[in-house]
Amino acid sequence: MSDATTQLIENLNALATGLFLLTAFGIVATRQARGCLHLFIAQSLLLAASAALLGLHFDSGHLYGVALVNVISKPIIVPWLLRRIAPAEIYTRREIDQVLNIPTALIIALALAIGAYFLGVPLANAVGPGYHGPNVPIGIAGLALGAFTLAVRREAMPLLIGLLAMENGAFLAGISIARDLPILVELAIATDGLIIVFIVGVLVRAVEQHVGTTAVGELASLKEVPAKRLAEEAAP
């Protein structure tokens, strides 16, 4: 491979990972449930693109496998499963009151992304020489922003997307530092993602049926109540 081609591949990978980071910010801030899903699909395609580019760079069949698994499972099977299992309501919901307002959430997200950079760069250097690209810091940022999404959202769909986005982030970093993971493991992890969608879908349907909402984050009745107060409440 000539130097110019390598350079082009590295630049394209930097572009893909940069856009990946943008989608992670988008998931934190998008109010519409459907928008979140679309951002997640875009993010998975960008992950696949980065895997394919790195595959080209290192001439690695494993990474093509990762790209293929991602293209098939997340943009196609995940929405199909959700449509089959979860109540249709989760698509239409729009979150009005979030735990944090959107500007505040984005500022915290920005701080997380900067923190991820300072954690990721030494980590990538410690792996040894060779091209890592911006995958490790951006992957860690994706992981952190996914976790942050879980903390600030209440609707079922953004929460599910937050979980899956965390996995995407871990993988984006993983494909650059753990390139030769057996394909069996990749397949198993992809299947596992689908089981997550299935179980969470079933749970959301049960919540919708028995509680009458898909804002699962608002379920908060279980906590420690001092025994004395309870006895007082029970007394007539």
**Interacting residues toward another protein by CB under 8 A:** 122-123, 126-128, 139-140, 143, 146-147, 150, 159, 163, 166-167, 169-171, 173-174, 177-178, 180-182, 185, 188-189, 192, 195-196, 199-200, 202-203, 206-207, 210-211, 216, 219-222, 224-228, 230-231, 234-236
Instruction: Return the SS3 of 32.
Output: strand
Distance CA 197, CA 81 (A): 7
> Which residues have a Cβ under 8 Å from the Cβ of 193 and sit 6 or more positions away?
73, 74, 78, 164, 167
Q: Which is nearer to another protein, 7 or 125 (CB)?
A: 125
Least Å from the CB of residue 116 to another protein:
11
Least Å from the CB of residue 179 to another protein:
8
Q: Which is nearer to another protein, 97 or 223 (CB)?
A: 223
Q: Which is nearer to another protein, 8 or 117 (CB)?
A: 117
Q: Are 41 and 75 in contact (CB under 8 A)?
A: yes
Q: Which is nearer to another protein, 5 or 99 (CB)?
A: 99
Least Å from the CB of residue 132 to another protein:
10
Q: Are 137 and 96 in contact (CB under 8 A)?
A: no
Burial 55-76 (b: 16+ CB within 10 A, else e): bbbbebebbbbbbbbbbebbbe
Q: Are 155 and 95 in contact (CB under 8 A)?
A: yes
Burial 172-198 (b: 16+ CB within 10 A, else e): bbbbbbebebeeeebeebbeebeebbb
Least Å from the CB of residue 181 to another protein:
6
Distance CA 20, CA 43 (A): 5
Q: Which is nearer to another protein, 16 or 186 (CB)?
A: 186
Least Å from the CB of residue 92 to another protein:
20
Q: Which is nearer to another protein, 11 or 191 (CB)?
A: 191
Distance CA 164, CA 44 (A): 10
Q: Which is nearer to another protein, 102 or 177 (CB)?
A: 177
